[in-house]
């Protein structure tokens, strides 16, 4: 993903497309945040479910 962002932001052929690179970085960051939140909720749920034995 970082190579994709780098290629768009610092393109040597033509005009660099900073907007696309910024949006790709934002989308990637939000996706990682959502994944982390979901895994945290899953771990919490599994911890609670495991204690009910």
How remote is the C-alpha of 33 from its chain's centroid?
6
Q: What is the pLDDT along the chain (53 residues), one digit of tens a residue?
A: 667 777 767 777 777 777 777 888 889 999 999 999 999 999 999 999 886 64
pTM: 0.66
Taking each helix axis as running N to C, give the angle between helix 18-50 and helix 2-9, from 0 to 180 degrees, rounded to the nearest 10: 160
On whether the CB atoms of residues 21 and 5 are closer than 8 A, the answer is yes
Share of the chain above pLDDT 70, in %: 87
Question: How many domains does the structure of the chain reveal?
Answer: 1
Range of the domain at 8: 2-50
């Amino acid at each position: 993903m970082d190579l994709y962002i780098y290629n768009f932001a610092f393109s040597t052929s033509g005009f660099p497309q900073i907007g696309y690179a910024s949006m790709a970085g934002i989308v990637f960051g939000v996706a990682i945040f959502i994944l982390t939140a979901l895994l945290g909720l899953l771990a919490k749920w599994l911890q609670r479910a495991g204690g009910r034995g």
